[in-house]
Structure formats: structure tokens, C-alpha cells
């Protein structure tokens, strides 16, 4: 275990001793590196190509229930980056799948930009609480994003800017609320559901438009 992670764990364990709270365990590969400005980074996001990083595989990251993080970037309708406690995490909003945005010169799905814009308006530069459900593809933390008690994942479904994720369900998550939110939007032809028969699941769209 690297010294940076040891310091983080000591800090968190000290906090638990003072403020007894519920704990959650998250498994994620971590990277530790120091940039050209002398700033030390601890992140589950791969460092820039010109940085030499120490990789810590599948170490446990523990932080108090209710710990807030600041959303510093929105990638698309279901992926954000957050910072807090000296950590940087790339978060995949668990339980939902938003229409894909384009990359390079390739166009994305209908409502891909609209979903990104909506999520940005709701969470960018705001403090959020994360309910974690392990790690998904591309080493992203799977989490529910909560602001003032409101589940943003479910909000994206209710506003017709995402569908319920059709892959393997994260362990421990209650999907009933998610399915109800999608049904709400579908019955009212909101957002992506206004496309009718022209609508294509993001999962299917990715299969037909692989990134190369």
C-alpha cells in the first residue's frame, strides 16, 4: 500500500473515531502521482500520459456516510467527475443509461447532448453525496448522486433523459424506484420516449457504433 493511501486511511479512521458513522467500502484501482507543479494526486482516473504514477490495485477506500464531494465535470448524461477528501473519482450514475454523445467528428444519439446539458444544470459545481455500489467498467465508481436528499439518477429517468440500465444490476440497489421513474416518462412520451419507434437503447447503439 502506498504512503499516500496510508495517510488517507489514517485520516478517515481518525474521523470515524470522532464521529461514529456508517461506513461503505468501495473497491477501485487508485493512481498516485505528483504533477509538474508539485501537486500530489490520488485518483481512480488514469493520470495524463506524461505522468509516472504508482498504481494501487483493488485497495479499499473508506469514507463516512454523508461525505460530500464537488462535481467538477460532466462527461455525458450518466458520467461525472467529483473531488473531495483529497481524492478524485470518475462516477458512473448507477442504474441508468443515458443516450450517447458523439466523439471526434462522429455524431451521437438523439438527446445525447440534451441529457448532458440537463445533468450539468443539476449537478455541475455543486456538492453531492454518493451512495456507492462498487466499481463498473473503465474503473468508474458506481453511485447514486444525491443533492438535498434528491436522487439525481432517478431524476434523469423521470425527465426522459435516460433509460433503466439493461445490463447486470449492481448488488444492493433497489431498482423498483428506477423502473417506476422510467415508466412515468414513457407513458408521457417525455424526452427520449418521444422518439417512438425510432428510439434506440444506448446499449444497442454502442454495439452498432463501437469506439475505435
Answer whether 92's CB lies under 8 Å from 140's CB.
yes
Closest CA to 59 of 30, 23, 97: 30
Query: What is the longest distance spanned by two Cα atoms in the chain?
Result: 56
Among 75, 81, 121, 123, which residue's Cα sits nearest to residue 102? 75
Any idea which residues carry the catalytic annotation? 92, 100, 140
Alpha carbon dihedral 172, 177, 178, 181, in 10-degree steps, equals -170
- Runs of H (alpha helix) within the chain: 3-18, 112-123, 152-158, 176-187, 202-208
Could you tell me which residues come within 8 angstroms of residue 20 by beta carbon, excluding any fewer than 6 positions away?
none
Amino acid at each position: 500500500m502506498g504512503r499516500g493511501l496510508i495517510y488517507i486511511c489514517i485520516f478517515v479512521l481518525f474521523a470515524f473515531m470522532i464521529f461514529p458513522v456508517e461506513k461503505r467500502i468501495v473497491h477501485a484501482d487508485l493512481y498516485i502521482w505528483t504533477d509538474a507543479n508539485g501537486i500530489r494526486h490520488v485518483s481512480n482516473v488514469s493520470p495524463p500520459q506524461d505522468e509516472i504514477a504508482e498504481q494501487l490495485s483493488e485497495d479499499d477506500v473508506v469514507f463516512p456516510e454523508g461525505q460530500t464531494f464537488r462535481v467538477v465535470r460532466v462527461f455525458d448524461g450518466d458520467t461525472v467527475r467529483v473531488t473531495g477528501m483529497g481524492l478524485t473519482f470518475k462516477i458512473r450514475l448507477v442504474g441508468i443509461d443515458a443516450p450517447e454523445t458523439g466523439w471526434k467528428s462522429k455524431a451521437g444519439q438523439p438527446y445525447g447532448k440534451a441529457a448532458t446539458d440537463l445533468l450539468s444544470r443539476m449537478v455541475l459545481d455543486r456538492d453531492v453525496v454518493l451512495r456507492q455500489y462498487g466499481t463498473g467498467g473503465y474503473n468508474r465508481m458506481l453511485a447514486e448522486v444525491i443533492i438535498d436528499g434528491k436522487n439525481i439518477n432517478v431524476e434523469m429517468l423521470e425527465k426522459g433523459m435516460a433509460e433503466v440500465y439493461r445490463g447486470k444490476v449492481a448488488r444492493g440497489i433497489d431498482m423498483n424506484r428506477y423502473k417506476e421513474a422510467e415508466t412515468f416518462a414513457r407513458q408521457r412520451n417525455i424526452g427520449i420516449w418521444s422518439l417512438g419507434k425510432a428510439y434506440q437503447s444506448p446499449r444497442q447503439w454502442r454495439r452498432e457504433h463501437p469506439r475505435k
